[in-house]
Amino acid sequence: MNDENLISANGLGMIRGARVLFGEVSLFAKPGEAIVLRGSNGAGKTTLLRILAGLTQPAAGDVTRAAEVHWLGHRDGLKPHESPVEHLSLWARAWGGGATDPVIERMGLTRPKDVPAALLSAGQRRRTALGRLLLVDRPVWLLDEPFSALDTNGRDLLLELIAGHRASGGAVIAAIHGEAGFTASREVVL
Amino acid sequence: MSPAPIRAAFAQAFREAWAGGAGVLLPASFFAGAAMLVPFAVGSDSDQLAAIGGGVLWVALALASLVTMERLFQADLEDGALDLWVQADVPMSAIAAAKVAAHWLVSGLPLALLSPLLGLMLQMEPDRLPPAMLAYGIGGLAFFLWGAFGAALSATVRRGGLLIALIALPFYVPTAIFGAMSLQAEVPMPLIETLFLSAATLFSMAVAPFGIAAALRLATD
């Protein structure tokens, strides 16, 4: 395993309205590492993750991405009429990923795989969204509250996915409330 | 650059527009309803209707094109799909163009196909109906592109329908002018007017996708 940063940020600062959301935030993630972002509601964890994902422009500082990133926000990205199979195969096509059947099975979505998202539970939609992480291999996972809406099984499943991703040389940066459930390499407090 | 994400964006937008059937029926009923009210409002005198029929349909088409615009990008923004598209490995303008094309196919093309029927009702000459249908098809595409630009700019605004109309309608003017001229000419399907109408649409095809892409980047920021 090499020791190059997969992603690093230097002196990030963000302004929302008339107030400074955060300033001088620097972080990096190497292969196999997991960074946990901490902070109270409204501290800017989501904004920081969006900056890392390249979705939002920071007011100060810069981000260097040496590898592709998966962004998983708190919104699942499913259309109301879309079933888990349709959703995953759409993004598999869009991203040039492989077969969706193994992903469906891995995420425990075999039973509701043809049910429109409007009729799925929040946890099932979450599992579908998490399934996107497995469609294409991208070394950096940026996860915003990934455990929300998941049941105990789902939580264990996601912990396995994160452990597997780290073992294969990926990095995870996650905003998490409460106990992480995995050993964080570092914590960044906003 | 692989075309796969663009095809996927098209497929998703097509299914989205088709779902529930409102994508086709809502603009079509609005278009037909607006045209149908005209004889009641201005009187059923044949000559008068024939004189204004073509123009009335242009106005009805312009307004009908805006009916389903509000949710075009707002839904993507709210459910998080826009974040994923912004991150796809192709320019956002290509994704935007694919989405508008799918939306036009479901909501816009049926309007043009419906126009001969409404034209007949408004006493337009029968031999003028097919060329008029083509003109409504060409002009309608420009309406949808500019409408989508307005929709992208107001994606973050709740109940932004009015804003979409305010942004888009000024861009509709060239198409309305050349479209109406092409119907008022001596011969059906006059060359110069049709070329100008097509040029207005080509201009919107060349410019609007980039404007939409820039607006969507701002919306996700």
Instruction: Spell out the domains of chain A, with CATH numbers in brackets.
Output: 1-68+138-190 (3.40.50.300), 78-137 (no CATH)
Q: What is the pLDDT of residues B138-162, one digit of tens each?
A: 999 999 999 999 999 999 888 888 8
Q: What is the pLDDT of residues A40-57, one digit of tens each?
A: 888 889 999 999 998 888
Q: Give A76→chain B minimum CA distance, Å.
A: 6
Residues on chain A touching B80 (C-beta within 8 angstroms): 73-77
Pick from B12, B73, B106 the residue to mutate for testing the A interface (most A CBs within 10 Å).
Answer: B12
Does the pLDDT value for residue B67 go beyond 70? yes
Contact of A10 with A161, CB cutoff 8 Å: no
ipTM value of the model?
0.86
Pairs of residues, one from chain A and one from chain B, whose beta carbons lie less than 8 Å apart: 65
Q: Is A30 exposed, middle or buried (0-12, 13-18, 19+ CB in 10 A)?
A: middle
Average pLDDT over residues A36-40: 89
Chain-centre distance of CA B189, in angstroms? 21
- The average confidence (pLDDT) of chain A is 89
Whether A56 and chain B come into contact, CB under 8 Å, resolves to yes
Does the pLDDT value for residue B1 go beyond 80? no
Banded pLDDT at A172 (limits 50, 70, 90): very high
Q: Give A165→chain B minimum CA distance, Å.
A: 21
Q: Do A94 and B81 touch (CB under 8 A)?
A: no
Q: Do B80 and A76 touch (CB under 8 A)?
A: yes
Top-confidence range, A9-13, A101-105, A137-141, B144-148:
B144-148
Structure letter (DSSP) for residue B177: H
Judged by average pLDDT, the poorest of A64-73, A156-165, B19-28 is: B19-28
> For position B148, what pLDDT does the model report?
96
Residues on chain B touching A95 (C-beta within 8 angstroms): 5, 88-89
Give buried/exposed letters for B102-112 (b at 16+ CB in 10 A, else e). bbbbbbbbbbb
Percent of chain B with pLDDT over 90: 65
CB-closest option in B4, B81, B87 to A93: B4
Q: Which of A47, A54, A53, A56 is nearest to A20 (CA)?
A: A47
Contact of B147 with B67, CB cutoff 8 Å: no
Q: Give B11→chain A minimum CA distance, Å.
A: 8
Q: What is the pLDDT of residues B185-218, one digit of tens each?
A: 888 778 899 999 999 999 999 999 999 999 999 9
Distance (Å, rounded) from C-alpha B129 to C-alpha A128? 49
Residues on chain A touching B88 (C-beta within 8 angstroms): 94-95
Q: Do A77 and B9 touch (CB under 8 A)?
A: no
> For position A96, what pLDDT does the model report?
83
Does the pLDDT value for residue B122 go beyond 70? yes
Which residues of chain B are at the A interface, by a Cβ-Cβ cutoff of 8 Å? 2, 4-5, 7-9, 11-12, 15-16, 19-20, 75, 78-81, 83-84, 86-89, 220-221
Whether A140 and chain B come into contact, CB under 8 Å, resolves to no
> For position B44, what pLDDT does the model report?
83
Q: Do B88 and A78 touch (CB under 8 A)?
A: no
Distance (Å, rounded) from C-alpha B98 to C-alpha B7? 7
Banded pLDDT at B95 (limits 50, 70, 90): very high
A152-167 and A122-135 are packed helices; what angle lies between their axes, rounded to 10 degrees? Answer: 10
Instruction: Give me the helices (H) in chain A, please.
Output: 45-53, 84-95, 101-106, 122-135, 152-167
Distance (Å, rounded) from C-alpha B139 to C-alpha B133? 10
Q: Do B79 and A93 touch (CB under 8 A)?
A: no
> For position B88, what pLDDT does the model report?
81
Banded pLDDT at B220 (limits 50, 70, 90): confident
- A residues 59-78 closer than 8 Å to B (CB): 69, 71, 73-78
CB-closest option in A73, A81, A90 to B11: A90
> For position A19, what pLDDT does the model report?
87
> For position B96, what pLDDT does the model report?
95
Structure letter (DSSP) for residue A152: H
> For position A1, what pLDDT does the model report?
47
Distance (Å, rounded) from C-alpha B37 to C-alpha B33? 6
Residue A169 φ/ψ region, left for φ over 0, alpha for ψ in the -120 to 50 degree band, beta for the rest: left
> For position A18, what pLDDT does the model report?
85
Q: Do A94 and B87 touch (CB under 8 A)?
A: no
Q: In sequence order, what DSSP letters do the residues of A22-60 get, joined into one string?
A: EEEEEEEE-TT-EEEEE--TTSSHHHHHHHHHTSS--SE
